[in-house]
Chains A and B, each alone.
Chain A
Amino acid sequence: MKPFFYEFLQRIRAKSAVVFTILLTVLLIALVYTSYSSISSSVINQPSNIMTGALFNHNGTYYFDTYVFNSSTGKPVTNIPINFTLYNSDTGGLSNYQYETNSLGYSNFTSSNISNPTYCTFEANFAQNNRNSEFSEKPGGLIRRAISATPYGQSCVMVWNICKPSPIAPPSILIVSLNATGSPGGNLMIYYNYSCNTTGYKPINKSDILGAVYKNFSVVTFSPKISDQYDYTDVLFEENGKQISEFATFSAISSPPGNLESAFNFEYPIVAFIMGILGISLAYFSYNKDRISGAYQELIVRPNTRVGLMTSRFLSVSFLLLVSSSLIGLSTYIIPILLFSFYMPFSFIMYIIFSSFVLSESMAAISFIIGSKEKSAAAVIAIPLVIFILIVLFVPAILPDILSKLGIFPGTENYNLITLIVSLFDPASSFSVIGSPLFRPIMSFTSLYLVGSALWMAVVYSISWVTIPYIGNYFLSKTTD
């Protein structure tokens, strides 16, 4: 085995490296988890409107139903405009309809002109009637629910599961709107306490459902029963011993409430920022510790080259950060599923992994150059990394814009080179570089934000680059003989 690979393997196999990676990963996951819990808790404690809806196909006529309730009081939300949007896959066209909820919080319409509806959204617009004060789930006065409109038998049921966001939060709720009688808009509403931990995998206890049904809603007209042999994805409802419907849930795990999305957007940059600082620290210590102590001499007299030694150290640091970033990304994907019963879009995971990794590696490369006297060798590492960033991030991001200017590709909004440059150093926006089709940036930041963001990153990382080596040198001078 060549010394380069040998050193790389030695580094990543070292007990300290394994312990470090585990600690780092656990620490950051704990940070994210704690923040999720606290933020989620505060979110769930606020009144939040719940909207549920159904798309029902009866003899070629499609019936759209929706209810909007206040989740705290259980009372219907009246006179709220509901925007129904339907996608017809045969024509590729979108149809939009608007109807207000009535005194039952109910809004509906029918259509016979849609040959193959495959996607439908129900959107309650609180802003339109200046009703934002009643709404706290998401800024902007809109809540939107979307379903796939694939009929299941003669029913199409939408399930919204607003799960318990944290162990300390109030019980979660599940609302099922069921068109079971063949009569569109039939009043079947089920509300019950439900532990998200069992979502999708554990049969629902009948007692849980019955207890909750009468407690919160008066509109329930059936006493449902759920067969124990079926899991949650195949729920059987009966009325007086007669099966009234069997349906598959379309979404056993819901998307997070809007405020939680904001929480994620807040958390991930912190993770990426910490990873960036760690990138500087690890890169600095992985090489300079030995250089300053003199132990480096013992390595360079072995069959190592300077470039090889630095590269193997750099890559081992990169590898550990990549592993940690990946674990954090995957864990923050899994944790919400296990604990909060909603999942983040996979792009968010990519966001964590990618922004954390790229940022930390960028920082590490610069740290190598600044911290190392072997500048030429450090450049050998940094230059390919810069080229990598340019090729992997810049080019795909810039190319669509160039093409759009040439009239070959549709243009993008609010996009320029500055946003891209900033996005590379600002984890909050770096997602935009990779998060859109063909890596097109979809940023909508103001120029002020960009300037502030750029300044912030410049200040923070400049301080890091100065202070970490300074502290490192002091530390090393005390600990090495």
Chain B
Amino acid sequence: MIHVQGLSKIYNKGDPPAIDSIDMDINDSEIVGFVGLNGAGKTTAIRAIIGAVLPTAGSVSIDGHDIVREKRLASMGVGWIPETPVYNADAKALSLLKYFAGFFGIPRDKAEKRATDLLERLSLKDHMNKKVMNFSQGMKKRFAIAAAMIHDPGNYLFDETLNGIDAEGVELVRTIIHDLKKDGKAILLSSHILNEIEDSADRVVIIDRGKIIDSISMENLRNMATTRVELTVTNIDGNVSEILQKYGNIEINNSRVIITGRDIKASEINNDLVKKGYNVNGIRSETLENYFLNLVRDRK
């Protein structure tokens, strides 16, 4: 569990705070979506939470350990997947993971096994002896996930992790995030792909200009906001309309299907169609996006 209280960061004196008195909890077995416009302070907040930058004020507690005063114990309990992973230029994937594992006191043989398993799970097994700096952006992101998972922490912070990952990678990351949740991990998922957060998160925290402006569960969000799900079905037929009627208003234009309603989940619709043999190519949900944009516009 991560407990954030009054967290502020001012990089230079005289500048406005990058984050300003942030309060936030990320509970075990919970995925918290962290959304905001560019420059809103998402990354600063995450970096302060994991101890990469020292906060100007406030505190961060990870599983009860303060990230500043009890840095070592706190860091044992958290994994960070940065937006832009950077590693030592000469480091090779497997040896770098083992090196990271050493900081947590994991014996070399166990570290090797765990690193190998993780690289396999993240489809990087064929690259385990290659230099990480030569990886593609997507591969680096997947490697970053492995690096964050090497010590099996109880808390994870994903910072724009899905950026630059191909569809297959997105699916893989999505599966891992859900598996982590099932394992009881606390997860903060920062992304500007709101659709992704909408499908995965239990709760959404919205940050704007360094301040938390709202924290709302997805259940409440769906109840109070209209969801617009847009999907493409390549083998569409007359039955689709009938299948989807229960979700809300249906609008079909060639292969494109638009469903508008309350408390509907794009993932459920997708599963429903796939089970009945339809090919769903693209899916886009706009509940959170609508809600978020309205919220931000109101503040302006």
Contact = CB atoms under 8 A, between A and B. Distances in A.
Give the dominant DSSP class at A's interface: helix
Contacts of A3: 72, 103
Contact of A298 (B85, B102, B105): B85
A479 B89 contact: yes
A481 B86 contact: yes
B234 to A, nearest CB: 39
A295 interface: yes
A129 B71 CA distance: 77
A293 interface: yes
Contact of A305 (B72, B86, B88, B147): B72
A408 interface: no
A361 B46 CA distance: 36
Given A6-B103, A10-B102, A481-B133, A297 B86 contact: yes
Contact of B86 (A7, A294, A302): A294
Contacts of B90: 16
Given A6-B103, A10-B102, A298 B71 contact: no
Nearest to B91: A295
Contacts of A293: 86, 88-89
Contact of B82 (A290, A297, A302): A297
A300 B88 contact: no
A301 interface: yes
Most buried by A among B50, B73, B75, B85: B75
B111 to A, nearest CB: 12
Contact of A295 (B47, B88, B104): B88
A300 B78 CA distance: 12
Contacts of B52: 297, 300-301
Contacts of B73: 303
Contact of A303 (B75, B88, B89, B99): B75
Contacts of B99: 10
Interface in A284-308: 290, 293-295, 297-305
Contacts of A300: 51-52
A480 B75 contact: no
B255 interface: no
A295 B90 CA distance: 11
A293 B75 CA distance: 22
A294 B85 CA distance: 8
A188 B234 CA distance: 114
B80 interface: yes
Interface of B: 47, 50-52, 71-73, 75-76, 78, 80, 82, 84-90, 99-100, 102-105, 133, 147
Given A294-B86, A304-B103, 4 more contacts: A295-B86, A297-B52, A301-B80, A305-B71
- The 10 A-B residue pairs whose C-beta atoms are closest, nearest first, are A294-B86, A302-B103, A303-B72, A303-B75, A3-B103, A301-B50, A301-B80, A6-B102, A295-B88, A305-B71
25 contacts: A1-B102, A16-B90, A290-B88, A293-B86, A294-B84, A295-B87, A297-B47, A297-B82, A298-B82, A298-B85, A298-B87, A299-B103, A300-B51, A300-B52, A302-B100, A302-B103, A302-B104, A303-B71, A303-B72, A303-B104, A304-B71, A304-B75, A304-B103, A305-B71, A480-B86
